[in-house]
A and B are shown apart, each in its own frame.
Chain A
Amino acid sequence: MEIVALNLTVRLGGAPRVDRVSLTLRPGELVGLIGPNGAGKTTLFRALAGLRAPDEGQVLYDGRRLAHIGRRTFAKRLAYLEQTAEAHWPLRAEHVVALGRLPHRGFGRAALQSDAAAVDRALRAADAEGFRGRPMRELSGGERARVLLARAFAVESEWLLADEPAAALDPAHQLGLMERLAAAARRGMGVVVVLHDLTLATRFCDRLILMAGGRILGDGRPGEVLTDAAAAAAYGVTLARAQVERETLVAPWRRLASHDSGRMPL
C-alpha cells in the first residue's frame, strides 16, 4: 500500500501545524521523520494515520481515501503508536499487547491461537517477554514503552507509524529497536518513525524527512537531508561528524546563537 499526501494542511486552533505538505511513502523503507519540537510531526502522523481529517488536501492509500477503505480494514493494514500512550487501567503487559489483535477480531469472535502466537512474536520483537505477566503500573517507563511498542507490532500490519518509540529506551534497547525496524523494512514493511536522536536517524534510516514550522525542509537520503545548513535552519545547531566502522556518525554539537525554535524562514 502506497501512502500519498497531497498538499496536506492541518490547522490546530487556526494556525496551520502542517502546511501544504506533499509526500509519497512506499513500503520497504525505514523512514525517519525528524524536526524540532512543534514542527508538526505528530500532527502530520495523525493525518497520515487517518486520525485527523486534513483541512485541505488529502491522503490517499493506493489511490483510495480512508472512507472507501473503511476504518476496520485500514486498522489491519496500518498500526499507529502514540507518543504519549499509557494504559489507564491496571492491565497486565500481555493483555495490553493483545489489544493489537482487536482489528483482526470480528464481532464477538474470541481470541484464537493465531492471536496468541502474534502476541508472543510481538513481545519477543520488542524484548518485552520478561515482564509479560506484570501489571503495567509496576513497570518502568522504558519497559512500558516496550510493551506499547509490542502492542503496535501485534497488529502485524503492513505499515507502522511510530511516534518517538526510542525516547524512553536505554541505549541497548534503542539500538535493538532500530535494528528491528530496519529488518522489518527490509522484509517489505513500511515503517515511519519520529526521532529526535539524529545519530540513530542518520545511521539506521533509509530516508529522512525533515520538518520545521509545518513544512518539509528536506526529504531524501540521510546524508542529503541532514546537511549543516538544514540542521542550522531547522534545529539551530551545528553537527559533528565522524567515521566509525565505515559508517557516518552524526551528532548535534553546538547551539547557534540567533535561532528561534525552528520557525525560521528558509
Chain B
Amino acid sequence: MSAIPTEASFARDGGYGLLLAALFALVLVAFAASLAIGYAPLDLQAAVTDALSGRASLEALVFMELRLPRALMGALAGFSLGIAGAAMQGLLRNPLADAGVIGVTGAAAFGAVLMFYSGLSAAFSLALPIGGVLGAAAAVAALYGLAGRGSATMTLILAGVAINSLAGALTALALNLSPNPYAAMEVMFWLMGSLADRSMDHVALVAPLLVVGWGLMLASGPALDALTLGEDTAASLGFDLGRVRAMLVVGAALAVGATVAVTGSIGFVGLVVPHILRPLVGGRPGRLLLASGLGGAALALGADIGVRAIGVRPELKLGVVTALIGAPFFLSLLWRLRREA
C-alpha cells in the first residue's frame, strides 16, 4: 500500500501539471524502448538516419515497417483504452466500468471476424481494420440512437451489454461454422490482441478516428466533474446531459472501436489505469481523462516490450499479458474495496 503515492503528494494544483509531465516522460521512454527492442538486432542510429534520408537500407526498412508502426500503434491503442476507461467510469460513476460496457469492443471484434470469415482479409491487408471500424460504427449507431434521444444512463449500459453479448454470440457462430480449424485458429489468435506486424497503413487508417474520439471525451471533462454530484446537480450547473452522454459514448466508441479493429481486444488497460491514477488527480474525473490516456499508453507500450523481452515463441499475445497482469490487480482492488466498505 505504501508504494501507492498518496493524494497529498500530487493533488495540489501544481501537481497536476507535474503528473502529466511525468506520465508524458514515461510514455516517451517506453516509446523509445519499444523502438529499440525487437527480434532482429538493429542499429537504431543508422536506421533512423537512413529512414530520414530516404535510403532504403535493411535497417531503415525494419525501422519504418516494423518498429515504428508497432510502437505508434501501442501508444495510440493504450491512450485510447485508458482515456475511454476513465470517460466511462466518470459517466457511469462506477469504478468498475470500461469501454466494454457500451458494447463497442465486441462489435468491433465481430466486424473483423467477419472479414476473416468472408476471406476478404486474405484479399487485402486493410480489410480487417475496416471491418472492425464498421462493426464499431454499427454499435455506435445503435447506441447513438438511444443516447441521442436522452435515454437514461442505465438504458445505455443495458443496450451496451446486449450489443456485446450479441456480437460475442455472432463471433462464436462464425468460429463454429468456420470451414477449417486453421481459419478458426487464425481468428482466435487475432482476437487475443496484438501489436505485431501492424503497418503504417493501419496507423493512418485509425489515427483520425482516434483523435476525434479523444477530442469528444476531453471536451466533456467539465461535465464529468459536474456529474460527480449526480445528474440533477450536473444539469443545474448548465450541462445538457443527453448531449454529454452522446459525446462520451460516441467518443469512447470511436477510440476503442478503431483500436480494437487494428489490435484485437486488449483487456484491463481501460479498467486498471484510471484506478491507479485516480488518487493522483484528487479523484477529479475531468483531470483523470488525459492522465489515464498517457498512463494507458505507457502501460500498453510497457506490456508490449515485455512480450518481446520474454522471448517466448510463439509470441505471447498482448491481450493475454495485459489480462494476466490486470486480473490479479483487479482482484486486489476488489479486496481493498471490500475492506473499506
Contact = CB atoms under 8 A, between A and B. Distances in A.
B interface bracket (residues with beta carbon within 8 Å of A): 20 to 34
Interface string B10-52: 0100000000000000000000000000000000000000000
Given A51-B235, A76-B238, A102-B237, A86 B279 contact: no
12 contacts: A72-B238, A73-B238, A80-B236, A82-B230, A85-B233, A90-B7, A90-B278, A90-B279, A92-B7, A95-B282, A99-B226, A135-B283
Nearest to B238: A75
Contacts of A100: 237
A87 B229 contact: yes
B65 interface: no
Contacts of B285: 89
A85 B240 CA distance: 19
A82 B230 CA distance: 9
B308 interface: no
Contacts of B239: 71, 102
A107 B238 CA distance: 12
Contacts of B230: 82, 84-86, 88
Contacts of B282: 90-92, 95
B283 to A, nearest CB: 4
Most buried by A among B222, B236, B278, B283: B236
Most buried by A among B219, B230, B233, B239: B233
Contact of A99 (B7, B228, B278): B228
A99 B235 CA distance: 12
A86 B229 contact: yes
Interface in B136-165: none
B232 A82 contact: yes
B278 A107 contact: no
Interface in A206-256: none
B229 A82 contact: yes
Contacts of A155: 237
B90 to A, nearest CB: 8
Contacts of B219: 107
Contacts of A5: none
Contacts of A86: 229-230
Nearest to B92: A88
B52 to A, nearest CB: 36
Interface in A70-116: 71-76, 78-80, 82, 84-92, 95-96, 99-100, 102-103, 105, 107
Contacts of A122: none
B45 to A, nearest CB: 40
5 closest A-B pairs (Cβ-Cβ)? Answer: A75-B238, A80-B236, A89-B283, A90-B283, A88-B93
B236 A51 contact: yes
Given A89-B278, A95-B284, A102 B225 contact: yes
Interface in A48-78: 49-51, 71-76, 78
B243 to A, nearest CB: 10
A53 to B, nearest CB: 11
Interface in B210-256: 219, 222, 225-230, 232-233, 235-240
Contact of B238 (A87, A92, A102, A148): A102
A41 interface: no
Contacts of A87: 228-229
B263 to A, nearest CB: 30
A72 B219 CA distance: 16
B230 to A, nearest CB: 6
Given A84-B230, A91-B284, A155-B237, 18 more contacts: A51-B232, A71-B239, A78-B236, A79-B236, A80-B236, A82-B229, A85-B229, A85-B230, A88-B227, A89-B93, A89-B283, A89-B284, A89-B285, A95-B284, A102-B226, A103-B238, A105-B222, A135-B7
A92 B228 CA distance: 12
B238 A71 contact: yes
B132 to A, nearest CB: 32
A17 interface: no
Interface in A153-183: 155
Nearest to B340: A137
A151 interface: yes
A117 to B, nearest CB: 15
A50 B240 CA distance: 11
A121 to B, nearest CB: 18
A10 B111 CA distance: 45
B237 A103 contact: yes
A135 B11 CA distance: 11
Interface string B70-88: 0000000000000000000
A26 interface: no
